[in-house]
């Protein structure tokens, strides 16, 4: 569990847009100082300025491409060099890909897996080891409603989010009696830049979706209650249960009718 939000440091990956920016706003509102990480420096500088004016928050910016080998180690070395102790890690940076297998770019898949799985795992384990020594701290990892099922045309992304959920829940079990908590936040469709970058622009507008503010509020409320995971939105929650009861082949076929990519 966190010692406190106020005057302690949170690190947010993927803070330059969407859910990550909203985490920064809500955590700054709780008095947290923040390390903001992403590739787009201009966005981070703008956000840091906004938070400093609104909440008096200290912000450190680290520009990093977290899909590269060694990115997690370099990031944590830089955090240490700046003398910062992380009380809350939000592993939010992530990308998706909707594509038929025939058209799938293997290089792009490898970078996605590195970002969604490898960097998240390395950051989590290293930071949790430090937190366990101190006896306090927490991690929020971004899963998804697709963490609960295989999804046709989005197979790699959905499987990467299944990893995030299982890994986070397992670690929650190991750490819960030692003062450190881990929560997997599993949103459904959320209005951010995610779909523009995943090969399905306009998706969030065409489907029932939540806003990032609601998703982050849900995540922080669950984290405060030390829940191992939370699905944002009750319809998404019911869906996450339904796919566990349905035959697995039915769940896959159902997902394919929803996620089929449009041919250009």
Ligand X SMILES: NC(=O)c1ccc[n+]([C@@H]2O[C@H](COP(=O)([O-])OP(=O)(O)OC[C@H]3O[C@@H](n4cnc5c(N)ncnc54)[C@H](OP(=O)(O)O)[C@@H]3O)[C@@H](O)[C@H]2O)c1
Which residues are at the interface with ligand X (CB under 6 A)?
Answer: 14-20, 38-40, 43, 64-67, 92-96, 115, 142, 144, 187, 189-190, 192-194, 197
Farthest-apart Cα atoms in the chain, separation: 53
Closest approach, Cβ 70 to ligand X, in A, equals: 13
**Separation CA 27–CA 57 (nearest Å):** 10
Closest approach, Cβ 124 to ligand X, in A, equals: 13
Which C-beta is closer to ligand X: that of 12 or that of 131?
Answer: 12
E strand map for the chain? 9-13, 33-38, 59-63, 86-91, 137-142, 180-186, 229-231
Which C-beta is closer to ligand X: that of 138 or that of 233?
Answer: 233
Which C-beta is closer to ligand X: that of 17 or that of 181?
Answer: 17
Which C-beta is closer to ligand X: that of 73 or that of 178?
Answer: 73
Phi/psi-derived region of residue 53, left when phi > 0, alpha when psi is between -120 and 50, beta in every other case: alpha
**Separation CA 42–CA 44 (nearest Å):** 5
Closest approach, Cβ 134 to ligand X, in A, equals: 27
Which C-beta is closer to ligand X: that of 7 or that of 65?
Answer: 65
* CA separation, residue 202 to residues 160, 190, 205, 232, 258 (Å): 23, 11, 5, 21, 14
Closest approach, Cβ 228 to ligand X, in A, equals: 17
CA dihedral 114, 115, 116, 121 (to 10 degrees): 80
Q: How far is CA 222 from the centre of its chain?
A: 14
Which C-beta is closer to ligand X: that of 35 or that of 38?
Answer: 38
Closest approach, Cβ 65 to ligand X, in A, equals: 5
**Separation CA 212–CA 21 (nearest Å):** 9
């Amino acid at each position: 569990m966190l010692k406190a939000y106020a005057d302690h440091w949170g690190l947010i990956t993927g803070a330059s847009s969407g859910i990550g920016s909203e985490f920064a706003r809500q955590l700054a509102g709780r008095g947290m100082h923040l390390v903001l990480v992403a590739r787009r420096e201009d966005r981070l500088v703008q956000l840091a300025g906004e938070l400093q004016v609104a909440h008096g928050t200290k912000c450190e910016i680290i520009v990093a491409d977290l899909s590269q080998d060694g990115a997690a180690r370099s990031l944590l070395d830089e955090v240490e060099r700046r003398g910062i102790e992380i009380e809350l890690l939000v592993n939010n940076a992530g990308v998706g890909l909707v594509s038929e297998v025939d058209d799938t770019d293997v290089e792009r898949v490898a970078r996605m897996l590195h970002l969604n799985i490898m960097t998240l795992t390395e950051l989590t384990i290293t930071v949790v080891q430090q937190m366990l020594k101190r006896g306090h701290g927490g991690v929020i990892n971004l899963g998804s409603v697709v963490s609960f099922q295989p999804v046709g045309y989005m197979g790699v992304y959905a499987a990467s989010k299944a990893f995030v959920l299982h890994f986070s829940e397992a670690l929650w079990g190991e750490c819960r009696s030692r003062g450190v908590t881990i929560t997997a936040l599993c949103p459904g469709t959320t209005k951010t830049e995610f779909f523009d970058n995943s090969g399905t622009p306009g998706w969030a507008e065409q489907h029932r979706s939540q806003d990032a503010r609601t998703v982050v509020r849900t995540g922080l409320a669950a984290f405060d209650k030390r829940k191992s995971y939370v699905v944002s939105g009750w319809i998404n929650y019911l869906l996450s249960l339904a796919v566990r009861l349905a035959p697995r082949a039915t769940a896959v076929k159902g997902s394919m009718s929803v996620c089929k990519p449009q041919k250009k």
